[in-house]
Every structure is written in structure tokens, then in C-alpha cells.
Amino acid sequence: MTHYRQLADGLVGNEDESCLTTFLAPDDVFRMANDFREQGKWKATMAEMEGRAYYNWGLASNAERILRDGVAMDPHNEGCPRLLCRLLYEQERWEEAGNVARSFRETTANDMLAELEAISLHNAGKHGEALEPARIATGRPESSQEMHRILAVASYFGPEDFRTTADILQSMPLQDLPERDWELLITSTDRLGDPERALANARAVMALEPAQELVARHVGFVLLKHGAAEDAAHVVRMLRRVHPDETEFAKAVCTLAEMLDLAGFQEASLRCSRAGVSEVPEYQPLRAVLVKKLCEAECWQEALSAINRPGGIVSDLRGIPEALGEICSALGLTEALLDQPESVLDKSDTADILGVGTAIALDRYDSAVQHLAELGAEGMWLSRGGVPFLPVEGRQKALESAAERWIAENANHPGALLVRLFLS
């Protein structure tokens, strides 16, 4: 140990100081570092040596503390930030590793840690901040495909440089890209106003059967926006594969249709809803959404058919009474529906209740009460609170007045009890 100390004393302050770790055991390094502290000779190069010894021994927290001290002591020293970045990176503390590397680059104008900085910030989701180091790293002849991919992602989320994103990702085989980057490729080419390229990319991604909901949704968005009518069926089958559960599938279809609506592609949105109902015809909430969209598109006869589907009318009735009122007004069927609902709808309990709701939606309160009484006479039992889809909000007083008039004239009617119950 005495020989090591004599040799170390000769190296301290020289360029070869860091080579002490090559001939000293870690415990000797720790003793040596303490000696240097006592002598006032401890500095950044010594911190690197001590930090590396702790690192090699698996004492990460000790190594981090020493290396941070070294960085603070001499920001221009290369060894401490390099090892500190490596330590933080291995612990998946991505943002901290990226910040250390960035601080070193900005302080010293030395970009030797640019690649590690870019990867760390990318992994941390700080894509915009990864842009500058990624540009530096990809400017080197030995830069990897992964670094170019990181630049593509950073360009998309940073300055919205869709051209760079599209060109880089387009140059790589789709199967070599993470699935989340498929979405960026499709969206960037679409945002560039190149529908043919976007459509080709969307079809290529769909052929690879994406498993992520967000990717499938953007594939569907581009295909429905730019593609042919038959693409709608392919899109919903893709969504069905991603969402085997009917409820989740219906949500995915509705979300995609809403995206298309918000972007101003109402016809594509309607195609999406139609295809969704064709895929799961028995799932009522999706059919109810389709009815509303058909009414918005003034496809009245199709909307009525969607309500009065084969095997019984749609049973998810939220918003349907109002829609049926619009449909009947447009088709001239209002009086027929109010006088005899089964002349417009298949005979069923749901159809009868829907007749009541539609009369309310059309402000035909006397007809609504009359239908209630007829249902009561047939033995149906319901209350206003038990039928939440009936459009009574804002119409309570008018409906109650009509019911009170009817009861005054028909107190002994077999359906009077149901009318009274409905008012309760």
C-alpha cells in the first residue's frame, strides 16, 4: 500500500491520474481518496476514479453522490458526467441522464454525449428536447438507424417537421419500426397533404395487423378519409381484432367516427358507423349512434330501418325518441305513429314505449298520455324515473297538465293507475 501511495502521489495532478483504478483495488481507492481530501488534492479526476470504484462495486448511490460532486467541481471534466450519465441510464432515470448530458454539452460546447442525451430524453418522452442532440448525433458517419429514428420522432413532436419524420421513417422497413412509429409515419404523410402516400402507408400498416389502439385508430382515420367505400369494412374488422370485447369495440368505432366528424369528414364518419353496426349488428348502443348520424345526414328511410331493424326495434333508446320524431316529420309519418305506433314500428313493448317518448319529443302531450293509458290497460308497469330515455326534461309541467286533464276525464280507465304512477 505504501508503494501505491508513493506512486499515486506522483500521479496526482498529472494527466495519468485516472489510471489509478487500473492498479488499485476499490478499497485502496477509497482510502486514497480520503487521503487526497485531507491533503486538499481531491478534484474532479479523483471523483471519477472514486465514483468508478463505487460503481464497479455496485454501490450506485455512493457513486452517484461522488460523481455529482465531481461534475459540480469541474463542469468541463469529461469523465464524471460520462459515468454519471451511464449510471442514471442503467437505472432508467432517463430524464436525469439526459439533463446531465445536455448540461455538459451546453457548458463545454463538447457534444461527445449527444447520442446518450438524445436516447435518454427520447426514452423519457421529452421528444422535443431530444431534437438538437439527435441532429448532432445523426450528423456523424457512424450514426445508427435507431438514432435516425429518434430524430424522426423528435422532429414530429418538436417543431412539427413532418417532412423529416416522413422521409426518415419511410426509408426504414415498417417491420423494423416500433408500432408506435407506424402512427407517426401515417400521420406525418397525411399532414404533409400527400393523401396517396398516406393511404399507401395506412394500408401497409393495416396489413401488418397493428395491436395498439392508437395506431389502429389512425390507420382507420386515413383509410376512411382518403380511401374507397369498401375500406370501411376493413377498418372495422381491424378494430374488432384489436378490441375483441364488444363494448370496447363500440367505443373505438364511436371515437373514430367522432374524430372524422371533428375533422369535417361527416360522410366518412357515417361509413364508419354503418360498418361498425354491420360488424356487430346486435350491439344496440352502436346502432343508436348510427341512427343519430343518419338523421344528421337526412337519410330518413335508412334511419327508420336502423331503428326498426329485423327482429325488433333498437333497444338502446337514449336519444331515439327525438330522432324518431325527426324521421316521422320528414317522412310524413307523424300522425300514423301517434295514432298507431305499430303501423310504423314492429309491435313490441319497446315500440310502445318509444311511441310515448316520440309523442313527448314532438310536444304532443295528450297523445303521449293516451298511449300511456293504453299501455297501462294492457298491464305494462313503468314510472317516469324508470324510463330515463324519455325526453321529459323541460316538458314536465306540460306533460303533467295533460295527464291531469286525462285523469279528470278518465278516472276509472284501466290505464289510469299507470298514468298516475308516471306522474309520481
Contacts of 332 (CB under 8 A, 6+ apart): none
Integer Cα distance of 362 and 354 in angstroms: 12
One pLDDT digit (tens) per residue for the chain, 424 residues: 444 444 444 444 444 444 455 545 666 666 666 666 666 666 777 788 888 888 888 889 989 998 998 899 888 888 899 999 999 999 999 999 999 999 999 999 999 999 999 999 999 999 999 999 999 999 999 899 999 999 999 999 988 999 999 999 999 999 999 999 999 999 999 999 999 999 999 999 999 999 999 999 999 999 999 998 899 999 999 999 999 999 999 999 999 999 999 999 999 999 999 999 999 988 888 888 999 999 999 999 999 998 887 656 777 778 888 999 999 999 999 999 888 888 888 777 677 788 888 998 999 989 988 888 888 787 765 555 555 567 878 888 888 899 889 988 888 888 888 788 776 6
Tell which residue, 149, 155, 148, 163, has the closest CA to residue 128.
155
- How remote is the C-alpha of 311 from its chain's centroid? 36
Cβ contacts of 239-248, under 8 Å, gap ≥ 24: 239/276, 240/279, 240/280, 241/209, 242/210, 242/211, 242/212, 242/213, 242/216, 243/213, 246/280, 246/283
Tell which residue, 73, 76, 117, 111, has the closest CA to residue 96.
117
Contacts of 108 (CB under 8 A, 6+ apart): 75, 76
Q: Which residue has the cell 397525411?
A: 190
* pLDDT score for 383: 53
Query: Do 164 and 151 form a contact (C-beta atoms < 8 A)?
Result: yes
Query: Do 341 and 352 form a contact (C-beta atoms < 8 A)?
Result: yes
* pLDDT score for 97: 96
* pLDDT score for 75: 87
Concatenating the DSSP letter of every residue in 311-376 gives: TS--S--TTHHHHHHHHHHHHT-HHHHHH-GGGTS-SSHHHHHHHHHHHHHTT-HHHHHHHHHHHH
Integer Cα distance of 294 and 298 in angstroms: 6
CA distances from 326 to 139, 297, 355, 362, 395 (A): 63, 12, 13, 9, 18
* pLDDT score for 35: 64
3-state helix, strand, coil in the chain (%, to 5): 70, 0, 30
Longest dimension (CA), the chain: 118
**Cα 372-377-378 angle, rounded to 5 deg:** 100
Q: Which residue has the cell 448532432?
A: 136
How do the domains of the chain map onto residue ranges? 1-91, 313-424
What are the b/e assignments for 150-173, b being 16+ CB within 10 Å? bbbbbbbbbeebbebbbebbeeee
